Structure 1
Amino acid sequence: MVSRYDKFVAYLIILQRAFSQGSACPPGWKNWNQSCYAIYFNRVSWMDASEFCESRGSHLVMPNSQPENDFIWRMMTERLKSLSGAGVWIGCKRKSADSSFVCAGNEGMSYTNWAPGNPKNKETPVCALYGVDGEGKWKSVGCTPRIGRNVVCEMPTAPRMYCMTADENGRLVNDLP
C-alpha cells in the first residue's frame, strides 16, 4: 500500500521534472541552448577579457557548433551594427606557433570556423576572435593588440527554482494572490 507521504514525494518529483525544463539567465544575458551570453563593448586585451568574464562567473565565448556560432554572430551584430573594426574575442588561445589552440576549461577546439588564411603562425601567443568582415568567421591575432577587442561572456543556464507550500495533510497550497 502506498502511503500519503509516498504519493506526496512522487507528486513533487513529477512537478520538479515538469518545471525544470526551463532555465534562467542573469538579467541582460541572452539564453540559447542551455547557455547564457552577454556582450560587452569594452575594448580590452584577450587576458583582460578572460578575467572580466571570470569575474562574472563565466568564460569567454567558445562556439561549439555552427548553429551556436551563428547565434553569437547574430547577437553581436544586433547589438552593434558595425563591430567598429575591433572584432570580439573568442575563448581560445595558442601559446606558441607549434602548439594547439586551448579553449575555455583547457579543452581543445571541437569546432572551428576560421576565415581563409587563418589561423596565422606569425605572432605568439595568438588568440582567436570574430573578425568584423566575415559573417562569423574567426581570425587569429596577437593577444595584446594595439586596438582592444570587444567581449562576449558565456555561462551555463541555471535551473529555475520553484517553491511550493504543503498543508498539514501534504496537499499543495496555492498561497499566491
Structure 2
Amino acid sequence: MAADGLVRQQLVHRLYVDHQGWLNGWLRRQLGCSQRAADLAQDTFVRVLSKDQGLDAIREPRAYLHTIARGLLINHWRRRQIEQAYLDAVALQPEAVAPSPESQALVVETLLQVDAMLSRLPEKVRRAFLLSQLHGLTYAAIALEVGVSERMVKKYMAQAMLHCLTLIEDDA
C-alpha cells in the first residue's frame, strides 16, 4: 500500500512539474488576475490529489487538468455573479439597515448553497420551483409558463421539496 502511495505521489509531482506553468498561464488569461489564477491552479491540483482514479491512465494530462480547472473557473464566476447581485441589492438599502460584513458573508454563503442545490434539479423542476417560490405563481400559471400539465407541476414541486428536505437532512 505504501508503494502505491509513493507511485501516486510521484505521478502527481510529475503532472504538477510538467503542466502547472501552462495551467497557471491559461487561468491567468481567463481571469486577468495572476493571484486568483494561482489559487485556482492550486485548487486544480488539490482536486487531482483527491481523486481516486489512477493517474497513470491519463492519456491527455492537459485536457484532464483543463476539465478540472474549467469547472473551478465556472464555480468562481458563478460565485462572483451571486455575490455581486447580493451586494448590488444591499447597496440599494439605506446605510442604517445595511447588514454587517459578517451577515453579508453568511447570506452569500447561503445563496451559494441554494444555487448549488437548485443546479442539481432538472431544468423544468427548477423552473417550476422558482416560479412558485420567487414569483408566487399558482400551479396553473406555472403549467402554462413551463408548458406542462398542472398535475406535472405538482410532481415537479414534490420532487423539488423532497430534494430540499434531503439536503437539510444531509446537513444535520
> TM-score scaled by structure 1?
0.20
| Larger helix share, 1 or 2 | 2
| Larger strand share, 1 or 2 | 1
Higher relative contact order, chain-length normalized (CA < 8 Å, sep 6+):
1
